[in-house]
A and B are shown apart, each in its own frame.
Chain A
Amino acid sequence: MKKAMWCLALVTVAVVGFAATSMAAYPDKPIQLIVPYSAGGSTDVLARAIGQVAPRFFPQPVVVVNKAGGGGIPGRVDVVKARPDGYTLLFGWGSGEDLVVPHQRSLPYDIFKDFETVCRISVHSIVLAAPTNAPYKTLPELVKWAKANEPVTATVSTKGGSVDITLLLFAKAAGFKLTTVPGSGGADAITKLVGGHVPFGGQHPSEVLPHFKAERLKGLAVAFDKRDPSVPDIPTFKEFGYDVVTAGSVKGVAVPKGTPKEITAYLEKQFKAIADDAEFQKIMKDLGQPVLYQNAAEYTTWFKAAYDQYGQLIKTLGIETK
């Protein structure tokens, strides 16, 4: 078996060595769009919509890679660790993990030092949804029910995400005790909500539209300053007198810090072209997600403002996640 042992050793060395070699002119190999959430969630579906039109804008395949779980952190760790060569992109830059979580605990990366903003694609508002057979049909009824049945529970996609914060914010404003039950992404949270295992939950409109249509779930309020165009029938929290307005969950693109300027500029240009594309806009309409493009400079400023606003909210309202 000595022969076999030598062959083995050779092959092992060859494969490990090959895997470590590198590349030439950008882009000359597939570009990975890392989605730090599970497949089927709103961020994932948006990334896949981009993946669908991408062949007309990129000479190389744009591959969507799901890296779910861990509160959205492992996917981001992967991007930070990746070589800054423009082949590993973070999709979902500006979600709660970027705007909210850094205020609450230390992360294995620095949100402002380890990432480079490319652009913003969309903004997802947060809608409070409940099963249609629940004893409450409107927001005031829900508040009354919650106060009578304290402490109540609600599903949120991830711990410390923007949905989590928004619901806790609402509970604080309405004055009832709430325990949020986090999942491993939007899809996981919806399954529990549709099954009626938790009395209500926070979701993005695109995730719950099919269930609104099937009349399994009902939207009670939206945490925007005005009504969300994708769910125009659902009133805002403000209309009921609760000051629950958040930036929602923002879907942008980032690359690891140190990525060459010309590569980020190239990506920014291509994503702008995608945002303006008629086919992409049609898909987004079907998905129930608004196209709200911002370039790198605009989005960097907006990102900082939203980040500060969440920080302020957390401090003044004393909301904490453990």
Chain B
Amino acid sequence: MFDFAGLLQGFQIALSPVNLLWCLIGSILGTAVGVLPGLGPAATIALLLPVSMKMGSPVTAIILMSGIFYGAMYGGSTTSILLNLPGEAASVVTCIDGHQMARKGRAGAALGVAAIGSFIAGTVGVIGLTMMAPPLAEFALKFGPPEYVALTVLGLLLATYLAGASPLRGLTMAIMGLILGSVGLDPLSGAVRFDFGVPDLQSNIDFVTIAMGLFGVGEILISLEQSEAASILTTKIKNVFPTMADLAKSGWAMIRGSIIGFVVGILPGGGAVLSSLISYAVEKKVSKHPEEFGQGAIEGVAGPEAANNSAASSSFIPLLTLGIPGNASTAMIFAALLIHGITPGPFLLKEHAPVFWGVVASMYIGNVALLVLNLPLVGIWAQLLKVPYAFMAPMIMVLTLVGVYSVNNSVFDIWVMLVMGVFGYLARKLKFDLGPLLLAFVLGPIMERSLRQALLMSHGSFGIFFTRPISGVLLAVAVLFVLGNLVTALRAKREAAAA
């Protein structure tokens, strides 16, 4: 099954000066796009589509595009950690502990661990892609609407669970997220919901708008209340790079995250988001000191960051072996392949083996390049926190305003973001966690669509969720998860009463 000669030929192609150059450009561009909020990898790849056609060889074009995609996964954590501003849905979880670490002067350690975790996971993902792409693709096909319902139910439970101290508050925010996610036109029938007669609300609210409002603007409002001395930015930055102890602590988290990300990332739609969520919950569960989570636990950065990178690599599996793109970025690469006259699918490997192996080999190279590029950047990024907040706050504000406007070129979105900013400020004042809201906002529409599709498939019978093995098992896991936490909570209560 493993075609060593093919991989060697791939390296030969990927290491040719032109391809190597574009692989590096893609990685660097991807990092930049990941760091900048608003502009995402999918939009960047779309912008480069016409340019890539002038490159002559399709391998070169796809190498550039995939570089942008996985490069963005490296960059995505940067603003989450430094500014509590998630650049994309998959790095929402990174905010929770990453930003806490930054507040404690450990931004460098968080960024370093994120970069190393991304490298390990990216490489694990590509090795998996090399060794066992076709059988895994068959597994991904087993996921139909009922399986997605089960998966999103599990995802929402995890989102509520990771809220920390109060599940009730987590649940409240998750419900808010579901409501916000259903504003606009109904995904199946196109009926208008919650638009209050405002035509702008008929288009669904964009993720970037909500995330930048709640986190970015909310953070600025909160910081305006604090005196300069209390602000994170004057905290002394201890060590710029992660220590050996940090790496020892996060090593297993990275490996677990890589595996989780790889498996979940194969599924079309929301794979990266779900994998980062699952990884965070797993880390919290297996940790000997779960109380540190939410306060700056390094495993809470290492695991999810590894997971989303590994998921990025494995999302190439359904694209290249089945011709099914699982997210906006791979859909763009799908279109690029088609326009180059190459049909993604089972025949790609047979008819265009050099393209397949060239792209795979470039991913090994790109991941090394990204590590080399990102580790020195850690020091520079960490220095950024020394800039007085009086200058930082307006800069962040410009970044979020331009970022939000750039998504849909809509001034209305800017207002939505500002309203969300005030909401985010109030929520944080009242000690409500924003993570569950954002994650429910992403998962809700997938769950709704899948639920309705599944019930149409079963002619209204809920049995479909329990009779199909994968969804049955996932739902059983969800039930066990709830029961397990209930028992733990009750026991803790009884012990507290007894003591």
Contact = CB atoms under 8 A, between A and B. Distances in A.
Interface of A: 1, 3-5, 7-8, 10-12, 15-16, 19-20, 32, 38-40, 44-45, 48-49, 51-52, 54-55, 61-64, 66-67, 69-74, 77-78, 81, 101, 108, 151, 153, 158-160, 179-184, 187, 190-192, 194-198, 209-211, 213-214, 216, 283, 286-287, 321-322
Q: Lowest 6 A-B CB distances belong to which pairs? A: A70-B185, A71-B190, A197-B144, A39-B331, A40-B331, A7-B394
Contact of B334 (A5, A40, A195): A40
A279 B42 CA distance: 25
A71 B46 CA distance: 23
B186 A70 contact: yes
Interface residues of B, number: 71
Given A16-B411, A153-B457, A159-B190, A77 B322 contact: no
Nearest to B144: A197
Contacts of A153: 456-457, 459
A3 B55 CA distance: 50
Given A40-B331, A61-B50, A71 B203 contact: no
B118 to A, nearest CB: 25
7 contacts: A1-B227, A12-B418, A15-B414, A40-B325, A64-B46, A70-B187, A214-B346
A72 B203 CA distance: 11
Contacts of B332: 39
A181 B144 CA distance: 12
A20 B192 CA distance: 27
A70 B224 contact: no
Given A16-B401, A101-B190, A190-B324, 15 more contacts: A7-B390, A7-B391, A7-B393, A8-B397, A12-B418, A15-B405, A39-B42, A70-B185, A70-B190, A74-B185, A181-B145, A187-B325, A192-B145, A209-B343, A321-B189
B interface majority secondary structure: helix
Contact of A184 (B141, B187, B200, B331): B187
A4 B456 contact: no
B49 to A, nearest CB: 6
Contact of B187 (A19, A69, A160, A196): A69
A302 B177 CA distance: 45
A77 B335 CA distance: 25
A1 B405 CA distance: 27
Contacts of B188: 71, 159, 182
Most interface-central of A3, A180, A322 (chain B CB within 10 A): A3
B203 A78 contact: yes
B47 A63 contact: yes
B389 interface: yes
Nearest to B140: A195
Given A11-B401, A187-B325, A197 B145 contact: yes
B331 A73 contact: no
A4 B398 contact: no
Nearest to A214: B346
Interface of B: 42, 46-47, 49-50, 53, 141-145, 184-190, 192, 199-200, 202-204, 220, 223-228, 268, 322-325, 328, 331-332, 334-336, 338-339, 341, 343-347, 389-391, 393-394, 397-398, 401-402, 405, 408-409, 411, 414, 418, 445, 449, 453, 456-457, 459
A16 B190 contact: no
Contacts of B398: 11, 15
Contacts of A216: 346
- Candidate in A32, A62, A101, A184 with the most chain B CB atoms within 10 angstroms: A184
A67 B358 CA distance: 32
A165 to B, nearest CB: 15
B331 A187 contact: yes
Given A7-B394, A39-B328, A64-B46, A179 B459 contact: yes
Contact of A4 (B268, B343, B346, B390): B390
B409 to A, nearest CB: 8
B199 A108 contact: yes
Contact of A74 (B203, B223, B339, B459): B203
Contacts of B338: 45, 48, 286-287
Given A15-B401, A159-B188, A211-B345, A48 B335 contact: yes
A52 B50 contact: yes
A71 B226 CA distance: 47
A74 B184 contact: yes
Contacts of B190: 70-73, 101, 158-160
A82 to B, nearest CB: 9
A19 B331 contact: no
Given A74-B184, A191-B268, A196 B141 contact: yes
A30 B390 CA distance: 36
B202 A108 contact: yes
A84 B326 CA distance: 35
B405 A74 contact: no
A62 B47 CA distance: 9
Q: Which of B184, B334, B338 is most buried by chain A, counting CB atoms within 10 A of its CB? A: B338
A29 to B, nearest CB: 11
Given A4-B393, A195-B144, A71 B185 contact: yes
Contact of B457 (A71, A198, A210): A198
B185 A213 contact: no
A163 to B, nearest CB: 14
Nearest to A69: B187
A205 to B, nearest CB: 13
Nearest to B446: A184
A182 to B, nearest CB: 5
Contacts of B325: 39-40, 187
